[in-house]
Chain A
């Protein structure tokens, strides 16, 4: 819930080198693998060429803006495949998809070899699930290899599987202490947090995002089935992103305000290299982290009943934006940047307003910007019958301290804290991308 400078759409132009044919019953698993191999070759070439244009442009195949075709694909659960292989993980830059599950795991593997096997298995499953295709046929030699919840053919439905590692993976169990990412720590507790240890941290995180909830759930179930002995779910939060209402604006959080209006420009390689990707040779970083991105997850309850009893002027002053339009309080355009130079005492946008504190839009604070990818969550009720809903705040960055923690430190005691309660989440490093069929998550860390 911070506010960043950004291009209007957050659009990730992408090309989809080899869209699968989910309806083709003759498409076997092996032929699918062949398809990936050829697709990857194309991807690498495209990626190389796209280096100047961002280096990620060849991945991220989701439709960027609502269009009739995209909406149809979303409604029918038939979004095209997002290429899995690449220098960076494919689920980081694209705009939030409709559905997500953020799942934290603790590793139960008993050795480094078992940890390696675990990450290879996760990779293999992610490679298959994101491309879609026919599950392996086992005949009568066992139960079906797939849960069947997506039908006989696994549809890709825009699935992305984003994997990250937490600081606890680098304890003494697997001999990885010396390779710990320099900026990876346990999640810090901020003054107004109410962190529940049972919903905080984890050795691994996997975020599954796709067009529909069944695709997300299917992927989680599949990965869990193949990794039972190697890891256990620590905590899990399902979420969704709301469509822009009205059309052409930005999806809203459960406080009724648009969330993620401004963000760094994901189409700018320069900006991504400054803000999102861990750079090769970055101070103190082990080389294997290059191409990764620090992944902060904060589970933030929103006390919506309390919020709904707050008058609109107070609500808007807390955010610094109009609720209905998303306009900054000093502007008449949703994507018009607020101009604090004309308002030094906070007559228009209060000095304590969320957008103003989160991103003061000064040269000094420009390097603290983060790539926000939040989702709403809604999961039942609490002990007093209030609705348990809020935000899965996720953001990607190069340096947690310089970025997320700096922003969050500025936000300590902002007026909004009375209406929200961060209760869980964790800090992770989203791993570098899986570059091809023989690569796997964390290979550079473990090899």
Chain B
């Protein structure tokens, strides 16, 4: 689980747009500095600087201010970011290493409580390719995806409650065979919402917590996995009734409280790989199999959840991540591999019964999906 790092405030977004939009070159002048030492002050974002040519350069960037901030090396024409120093402490010096290709470069300074500044544009001639510039994702571009995702979760929670209700009814009626049938659709529906783990807060532990820290006999262990354990380990209905009732009530409260929850914009991109990181760690490994042998079904639900996130982020991703088609190639492959492990009657093969070859194929496909996803968090990180 990651946290949002310090960034200048949202209010700065508009301001920077003005600076870039008007094509201003700010803060030229100032005394020439040693080639690799570049000082940022309140009135000069690096001053004038030059390099001998393309190739690897390490700038020593000095924050001459009394406040912290962030320095980006940008392409002033496109706003693309080549390199950044975030969390840049006052009166400190930090190296910035970059492979400079041919093109235009300008520093951008974002200091606390100050308007963004764009430094002198430096042009490097020739046809060398260097570190690529990454187009930043403005906060505003993530608002629609976040809203769409919020809606998806709200609909998903409504469906979840509809699926948990018969499960609870089965158990209250003592019909455990029916409960074993109704458990899986409800659990998969919850797992499809994986990206909202963080937003669900403590509810996630209550609704889908593992026994690891508590032990399987702990009365504090609640939720889907607790029910799975009981249903597939011959526990009597009387023991499971309170667990089922609590699950239903937790889901109801989750749904009722959802409109007041907020999705962190940075989480959208992070979750695109975190859902399947968890699937690899807990589902494909078989760790989270508490008896039903359905962790491959869970993995498939996690694939669905990942696809939903990619779908809402698509407008942001298409212009920023040329490798996006590769994500889908491997998601499709993983999905097809998972479906091979479901019988005609809908029974899922437990991971523990898979052949080595089948497991290796699923692990390989999931591993490659994760590799393909790994640029997404940085390329969808909200930036001013």
Contact = CB atoms under 8 A, between A and B. Distances in A.
Contact of A139 (B131, B364, B365): B131
Given A108-B360, A140-B83, A143-B375, A228 B56 contact: no
B58 A137 contact: no
A88 B56 CA distance: 34
Interface in A203-260: 225, 228-232, 234
Contacts of B357: 106
Interface string A27-42: 1110100000000000
B182 interface: no
Nearest to A31: B55
Contacts of A134: 56
B368 A139 contact: no
Is the interface on chain B under 10, 10 to 19, 20 to 34, or 35 or more residues? 20 to 34
A188 to B, nearest CB: 21
Interface string A6-43: 00000000000000000001111101000000000000
Given A26-B56, A228-B368, A141 B361 contact: no
Given A108-B361, A228-B368, A141 B356 contact: no
A385 interface: no
Nearest to A141: B134
A231 B330 CA distance: 14
B97 interface: yes
B82 interface: yes
B367 A137 contact: no
A138 interface: yes
A137 B98 CA distance: 7
A142 interface: yes
B367 A142 contact: no
A228 B367 contact: yes
Interface in B76-115: 81-84, 97-99
B364 A231 contact: yes
B364 A230 contact: yes
B374 interface: yes
B82 A139 contact: yes
A431 to B, nearest CB: 22
Interface string B37-68: 00000000000000000011010000000000
A142 B379 CA distance: 7
Contact of A142 (B133, B330, B378): B378
30 contacts: A26-B56, A28-B99, A31-B55, A106-B356, A106-B360, A108-B360, A108-B364, A108-B365, A110-B333, A136-B99, A137-B97, A138-B131, A138-B375, A139-B82, A139-B83, A139-B84, A139-B98, A139-B131, A139-B134, A140-B379, A141-B134, A141-B375, A142-B378, A142-B379, A225-B371, A228-B368, A228-B371, A229-B330, A229-B368, A232-B363
Given A141-B379, A230-B368, 6 more contacts: A137-B83, A137-B98, A138-B375, A139-B81, A139-B133, A152-B97
